[in-house]
């Protein structure tokens, strides 16, 4: 049975063993000493007896000087194991004879004088006995005997062995007796100990101590068992509470920690470890090394303040992780105080608000700054404009609001990509900021639109100088694309002449900008109320156009095209016309441009396409009787590049069962050059579908022969501006002749537009241009009037 080193039984046994051992040691020491003395006396007695015997035997040898006899007599000592050597000296002290039990004989030293050497003496390892040889009262010599102490030591060793055996037997006997007695006495206590040990290994164990007797120990067992029942219930509740706490903390989206009064972290949840990249064991001093130096003193003072005030406190600080990432933490710290106000540590939560802080900063920045250019945004400009209006009204000053818009900005995005477009906007923003003074304000309203506030605009000449400088400096050549020099249009409204509120000034600047675009772009226009009237009229017309499209009030006229070679009509062009009930006839260049600006061009184009397909089906016999094989339809850039364009064409052709060969689409040079590659792709799809393609108003745009030969077209239409003055204008004659010759070389047909005289027709025929369109042969007319044409 194993004993605990602190057990009562072992303690009693130890003490008994120590007492018994001490007694045995004292007793053994005394017995050993007494026995040693007795053995020494016995050894002396034995040697004296032997010495007397040898002295009597050697007396005759000394008398007769017979050394041989003396030596023989001395050898009788060999029967005593303790005697090592014997020296015999004569009366004169001279060596006479000797005996030795060793291999090397002992050399007896002579003595100069014969003295009484009777008696004995002990050395460390020998007993020396001196015995005189006396004959009839005369001293004949002296006998010197040397004996070892082996007998003495052997005897003492035997006594110690016996004492040791007796000691062991006594100890074992006492142990067995004491153990038996203690077992009977301490058995109930051992049972309590075993039960307590079982509970320490498993606090939820149901093991209980057994009550043997109704004595004091039995009462102790009852109290002990009741205590175990209470502890078990408390442990169950504590475990459930701890499990809830751990489940809550480990799954919490925020960090949770617990520190003791020595600032050592006792507990941190998983989220806290992820945020701080720290692991236990950890103390607060090591954690503080990761806190930004600018925040450290404030954090430490806040921790001390929380301890003193006994109230939770919140602190925000910068934290540098081990990989160098800087985070922003929001820590709530609550001190823990036990009874009697004893401080026990802190419990707290940690929240990583880095992304929140960044988002807040970004939101604040976005609230007033344009993220691309860094200029003020629309919100800031509007707010600032209100303040400047109030200031100008108080000081009775003038100021100007400029609305700037880049011309043909879409071409940059389509040709060079949106990254180049963004770079252009940043360049323009930088130029505007450099041109204007610090008192003025430049903002980006969105897209390619900028707003400029000029505070001091009392002198119109000075304002005009600033506006012209902006126009001249904002021109930005696009690298690697010489055809895309970007210019700007500006609309100007002046306070208080053109408006008293921010909304009025911005609106009127927008009206002026609109007019600058109409005037050909790359210029500035100052607002006037005449412009306002025009804009209002455009808005009115836009509403009317929208309603006209909804009510199907637009009509599609046809202008037949004549073939001089075959002397007959062969094709026709569809031209949309609008006659309003109030305004009468509205020119196409007005409402088509309006449709482009308002986005109604897609709906208008679809109306024309459907009407043309209807004519091809409904008036098929009439058209064939005139020789008209198909109808051409004009396309705008917005229509042509729209993703819905090709699906709409296919859907309309399928709806009316019209052959694609009966349709021709006319596109201007400017449309094709907006995005040449996309234009080629769409034209190729139309060619694969079976439709014809032509370039309208050829010669008025800026296409090059390099692009022209890539376009999958059937013919080119010579613009009326080159036909109008033939034969009187030699330059027009040369241009028209060159276009016709070029088309012939490229294998393309040519159609001359605007032919109104016989001379023009004869000239074109002579040049090999056989297809004619103009009032000389036929005007645009409703399809019902085609019957009046003569073949």
583 confidence band (pLDDT: 50, 70, 90): confident
Residues 642 and 772 in one domain: yes
Residue 548: phi and psi, rounded to 5, are -65, -40
Instruction: Assess if residue 364 is contained within a domain.
Output: no
Which of 156, 179, 213 delimits the end of a domain? 156
- 128-140 average pLDDT score: 82
- Asked if residue 132 lies in contact with residue 144, where contact means CB atoms within 8 angstroms, the answer is no
Instruction: Name every residue whose Cβ is closer than 8 Å to that of residue 790 and which is 6 or more positions away in sequence.
Output: none
Residue 181 — very low, low, confident or very high, per pLDDT cuts 50/70/90? low
Residue 485 predicted with pLDDT over 70: no
Supply the DSSP string of 667-696, one letter for each residue. EEHHHHHHSHHHHHHHHHHHHHHT-EEEEE
E-strand spans in 529-660?
555-563, 568-580, 584-586, 631-634
- Examine residue 45 and state whether it is found in any structural domain, yes or no: yes
Q: Other CB atoms closer than 10 Å to residue 676's CB: what's the count?
A: 17
- DSSP letter assigned to residue 314: E
All residues at 6 or more sequence positions from 539 whose CB lies less than 8 Å from its CB, including other chains: none
Q: Name the residue with tokens 């014969």.
A: 114
Q: Which of 502, 527, 552 is the last residue of a domain?
A: 527
**Rounded Cα gap, residues 298 and 296, in angstroms:** 5
Q: Which domain holds residue 238?
A: 202-251
Indicate if 346 and 475 belong to the same structural domain: no
Q: Are residues 333 and 420 in the same domain?
A: no
As for how many domains the chain has, the answer is: 5
Give the least confident one: 138-142, 223-227, 779-783: 223-227
Residue linked to tokens 């001089």 = 564
Query: Which pLDDT tens digit goes with each residue over 693-710?
Result: 998 877 665 555 666 777
Within-domain flag for 178: no
The DSSP-derived string for 30-89 is HHHHHHHHHHHHHHHHHHHHHHHHHHHHHHHHHHTT-HHHHHHHHGGGGGSTTEEEEEEE
What is the reported pLDDT for 481? 44
**How far apart are the C-alpha atoms of 665 and 691, rounded to whole Å?**
7
Query: At 616, phi and psi to the nearest 5?
Result: -65, -30
If pLDDT is split at 50, 70 and 90, which confidence band does 660 have? very high
| Site of tokens 């052959």 | 659
Q: Quick one: tokens of 328?
A: 């922003």
**Contact, 275 vs 329, CB < 8 A?**
yes
Stated length of the chain: 791
* CATH assignment of the domain containing 679: 3.20.20.450
| 517 part of a folded domain | yes
Return the ∠ at Cα 155 (arms to 43 and 151), rounded to 5°: 45
- Partners of 665 in the β-ladder: 633, 693
627 plus 481 within the same structural domain: no
Residues 227 and 311 in one domain: no
| pLDDT for the residue 480 | 39
Mean pLDDT score across all residues of the chain: 82
The CATH code of the domain that includes 335 is 3.30.450.20
Q: 270: which residues sit within 8 A by CB, 6+ positions away?
A: 250
Same-domain check for residues 592 and 714: yes
Among 450, 457, 488, 451, which residue's Cα sits nearest to residue 472?
A: 488
How far is Cα 208 from Cα 198, in angstroms, rounded to an integer? 9
**In this predicted structure, what is the pLDDT of residue 113?**
43
Is residue 674 within 8 A of residue 641, CB to CB? The reply is yes
Which residues are CB-neighbours of 741 under 8 A, at least 6 positions away? Answer: 767
- Answer with the one of 497, 527, 557 that is the final residue of a domain: 527
Closest by CA to 131, choosing from 245, 212, 54, is: 54
Q: Look at residue 189 and tell me if it is in a domain.
A: no
Same domain as 223, residue 76: no
Burial of 493 (0-12, 13-18, 19+ CB in 10 A): buried
User: Phi and psi at residue 131, in whole multiples of 5°?
Assistant: -130, 120
The pLDDT confidence band at residue 479, using thresholds 50, 70 and 90, is: very low
Residue range 187-210, pLDDT digits in tens: 666 667 667 677 666 666 667 767
| Buried residues in 339-367 as b, exposed as e (16+ CB within 10 A) | eeeeeebbbbbbbbebeeeeeeeeeeeee
How many other C-beta atoms are found inside a 10 Å radius of the C-beta of residue 32? Answer: 15
Q: Is the omega angle on the peptide bond into residue 727 within 30 degrees of 0, that is, cis?
A: yes
Q: Has residue 165 been placed in a domain?
A: no
pLDDT at 213: 66
Q: Is 416 helix (H, G, I), strand (E, B) or coil?
A: helix
Mean per-residue pLDDT, 454-466: 82
Domain match, 49 and 113 both: yes
Task: Reply yes or no on whether the pLDDT at 637 is more than 90.
Answer: no
Shared domain check, 131 and 29: yes
Tell me what pLDDT residue 619 has.
92
pLDDT > 90 fraction of the chain, expressed in percent and rounded: 19
* DSSP annotation of 720: G
> Is residue 639 pLDDT above 50, yes or no?
yes
Question: 516 and 648, same structural domain?
Answer: no
Give the side-chain half-sphere CA count within 13 A for 364: 6
Instruction: Give 607's pLDDT tier (boundaries 50, 70, 90).
Output: very high
Could you tell me if 724 and 578 lie in one domain?
yes
pLDDT at res. 516: 87
> Which residues does 104 contact at the CB level (< 8 Å), separation at least 6?
none
- Residue 541: is its pLDDT beyond 60? yes
The owner of tokens 């006899």 is 69
Clarify whether residues 219 and 333 are in a common domain.
Answer: no
């Amino acid at each position: 049975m194993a004993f605990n080193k602190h057990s009562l039984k072992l303690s009693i046994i130890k003490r008994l063993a120590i007492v018994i051992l001490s007694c045995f040691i004292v007793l053994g020491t005394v017995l050993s000493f007494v026995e040693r003395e007795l053995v020494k006396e016995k050894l002396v007695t034995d040697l004296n007896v032997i010495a007397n015997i040898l002295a009597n035997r050697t007396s005759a040898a000394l008398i007769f000087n017979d050394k041989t006899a003396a030596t023989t007599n001395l050898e009788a000592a060999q029967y005593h194991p303790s005697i090592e050597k014997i020296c015999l000296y004569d009366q004169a002290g001279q060596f006479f004879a000797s005996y030795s039990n060793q291999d090397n004989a002992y050399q007896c030293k002579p003595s100069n004088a014969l003295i009484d050497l009777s008696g004995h003496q002990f050395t460390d390892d020998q007993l020396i006995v001196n015995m005189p040889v006396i004959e009839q009262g005369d001293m004949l010599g002296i006998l010197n005997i040397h004996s070892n102490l082996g007998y003495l030591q052997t005897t003492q060793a035997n006594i110690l062995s016996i004492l040791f055996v007796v000691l062991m037997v006594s100890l074992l006997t006492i142990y067995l007796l004491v153990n038996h007695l203690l077992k009977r006495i301490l058995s109930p206590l051992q049972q309590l100990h075993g039960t307590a040990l079982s509970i320490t290994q498993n606090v939820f164990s149901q093991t209980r101590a057994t009550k043997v007797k109704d004595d004091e120990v039995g009462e102790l067992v009852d109290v002990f068992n009741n205590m175990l029942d209470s502890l078990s219930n408390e442990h169950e509740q504590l475990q459930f509470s701890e499990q809830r706490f751990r489940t809550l903390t480990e799954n919490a989206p925020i960090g949770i920690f617990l520190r003791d009064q020595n600032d050592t972290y006792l507990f941190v949840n998983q989220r806290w470890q992820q945020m701080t990249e720290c692991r236990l064991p950890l103390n607060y001093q090591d954690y503080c090394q990761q806190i930004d130096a600018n925040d450290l003193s404030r954090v430490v003072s806040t921790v001390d303040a929380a301890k003193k005030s006994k109230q939770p406190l919140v602190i925000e600080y910068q934290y540098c992780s081990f990989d160098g990432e800087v985070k922003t933490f929001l820590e709530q710290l609550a001190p823990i105080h036990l009874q009697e106000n004893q401080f026990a540590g802190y419990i707290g939560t940690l929240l990583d608000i880095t992304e929140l802080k960044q988002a807040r900063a970004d939101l604040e920045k976005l609230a007033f700054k344009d993220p691309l250019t860094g200029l003020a945004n629309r919100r800031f400009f509007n707010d600032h404009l209100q303040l400047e209006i109030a200031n100008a009204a108080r000081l009775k000053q003038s100021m100007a609001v400029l609305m700037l818009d880049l011309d043909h900005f879409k071409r940059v995005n389509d040709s060079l990509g949106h990254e180049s477009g963004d770079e252009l906007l940043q360049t323009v923003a930088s130029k505007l900021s450099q041109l204007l003074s610090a008192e003025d304000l430049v903002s980006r309203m969105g897209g390619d639109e900028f707003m400029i506030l000029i505070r001091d605009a009392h002198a119109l000449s000075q304002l005009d100088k600033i506006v012209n400088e902006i126009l001249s400096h904002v021109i930005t050549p696009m690298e690697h694309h010489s055809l895309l020099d970007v210019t700007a249009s500006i609309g100007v409204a002046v306070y208080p002449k053109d408006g008293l509120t921010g909304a009025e000034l911005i609106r009127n600047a927008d009206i002026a900008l609109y007019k600058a675009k109409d005037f050909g772009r790359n210029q500035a226009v100052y607002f006037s109320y005449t412009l306002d009237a025009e804009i209002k009229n455009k808005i009115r017309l836009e509403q009317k156009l929208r309603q006209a499209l909804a009510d199907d009030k637009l009509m599609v006229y046809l202008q037949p095209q004549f073939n001089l070679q075959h002397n007959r009509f062969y094709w026709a062009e569809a031209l949309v016309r609008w006659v309003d009930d109030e305004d009468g006839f509205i020119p196409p260049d007005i409402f088509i441009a309006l449709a482009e600006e308002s986005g109604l061009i897609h709906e208008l184009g679809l109306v024309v396409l459907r009407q043309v397909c209807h004519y091809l089906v409904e008036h098929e016999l009439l058209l064939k009787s005139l020789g008209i094989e198909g109808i051409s339809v004009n396309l705008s850039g917005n229509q042509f590049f729209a993703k819905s364009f090709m699906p709409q064409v296919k859907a309309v052709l399928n709806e009316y069962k019209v052959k694609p060969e009966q349709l021709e689409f006319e596109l201007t040079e400017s449309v094709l050059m907006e995005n040449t590659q996309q234009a080629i792709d769409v034209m190729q799809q139309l060619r694969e579908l079976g439709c014809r393609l032509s370039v309208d108003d050829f010669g008025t745009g800026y296409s090059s022969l390099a692009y022209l030969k890539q376009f999958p077209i059937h013919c080119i239409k010579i613009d009326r501006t080159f036909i109008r003055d033939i034969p009187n204008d030699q330059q027009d004659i040369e241009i028209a002749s060159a276009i016709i010759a070029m088309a012939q070389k490229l294998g393309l047909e040519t159609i001359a537009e605007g032919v109104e005289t016989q001379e023009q027709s004869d000239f074109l025929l002579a040049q090999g241009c056989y297809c004619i369109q103009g009032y000389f042969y036929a005007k645009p007319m409703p399809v019902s009037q085609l019957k009046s044409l003569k073949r």
